Chains A and B, each alone.
Chain A
Amino acid sequence: DQQVKQNSPSLSVQEGRISILNCDYTNSMFDYFLWYKKYPAEGPTFLISISSIKDKNEDGRFTVFLNKSAKHLSLHIVPSQPGDSAVYFCAASEPGGGADGLTFGKGTHLIIQP
């Protein structure tokens, strides 16, 4: 049973436009959410996070929105740049980090078209 779901395996966006990546979760104990970015043959790189006490966190071109009632979060990238092409993983953890560490989704491959 997948507790963190990224239902879009891939997403293609034109350079300069907004990229919106979605993530749903089922475990109501999750209280901290993270987005990681991964290039081929590299490990995931931390991008941005949000605590469950907030509904929005912004860092430069990246904004994460959290809708606790819908158990849904999204990552907005604006404007999208060619270097943003990568696989994006949504991850979640329970209070104190949880015994299982982070639970990851399967990822969304973002492709930025020139």
Chain B
Amino acid sequence: DTGVSQDPRHKITKRGQNVTFRCDPISEHNRLYWYRQTLGQGPEFLTYFQNEAQLEKSRLLSDRFSAERPKGSFSTLEIQRTEQGDSAMYLCASSLVSASVRFFGPGTRLTVL
């Protein structure tokens, strides 16, 4: 399978704990995006990388959130001191620089108790 993969698929954590998610994009894609989706909403943009450079961050990305893509391949999204409002589906997508079509992974569903 050469699509976008995400790990874990589900994460349940207690409020105040830190969590980290991983995304492996399609191998030849140099852009990688993180989105968040809550119930009844469409995906909301969080941040994106071109190769290893983080080029844009949404105002939704509070200082408790940090994303990295150290070697321009996989990416991690860390949430520190989780809050119940962080409960959502976290989606990763990738694309070629020149393309507007993003290909999404299956998502990581986070539940903060």
A residues whose Cβ falls under 8 Å from a Cβ of B:
4, 9, 32, 34, 36, 41-46, 49, 89, 91, 93, 97, 99-107
Contact B107 A104 (CB under 8 A): no
Q: Kindly report which residue of chain B lies nearest to residue A51, judged by CB atoms.
A: B100
A31 to B41, CA, bound (A): 22
Residues A104 and B106 in contact in the complex (CB < 8 Å), given A43-B91, A93-B100: no
Q: A42-B107, A43-B106, A44-B91 are in contact. Are A106 and B42 (CB under 8 A)?
A: yes
**Within the complex, what minimum Cβ distance (angstroms) separates B48 from chain A?**
6
Residue B65 is within 8 A (CB to CB) of chain A in the complex: no
Collect the chain A residues with CB atoms within 8 Å of residue B56's CB: 99-101
- Contact of B106 with A42 in the complex, beta carbons under 8 Å: yes
A9 to chain B: which residues have CB within 8 Å?
A: 40
Question: Given A100-B45, A106-B40, are A43 and B101 also a contact pair (CB < 8 Å)?
Answer: no
Q: How far is the CA of A62 from the CA of B106 in the complex (A)?
A: 23
* From B43, B100, B109, contact of A32 by CB (8 A): B100
Q: Which of B40, B43, B45, B100 contacts A44 (CB 8 A)?
A: B43
In the complex, what distance in Å separates the CA atom of A22 from the CA atom of B82?
37
Query: How far does the alpha carbon of A105 sit from the alpha carbon of B91 in the complex, in Å?
Result: 16
Give the chain A neighbours of B102 by CB distance below 8 A: 46, 101-102
Smallest CB-CB A-B distances: 5 pairs:
A104-B42, A43-B104, A101-B45, A32-B100, A44-B104
Q: Which residues of B contact A41 (CB under 8 A)?
A: 106-107, 109
Output the nearest chain A residue to B102 by Cβ-Cβ distance: A102
Q: Which residue of B lies closest to A89 (CB)?
A: B42
Would A104 and B43 count as touching, CB distance under 8 A? yes
In the docked arrangement, what's the CA distance between A89 and B40, Å? 11
Which residues of chain B from 68 to 97 have a CB within 8 Å of any chain A CB? 91, 93, 95
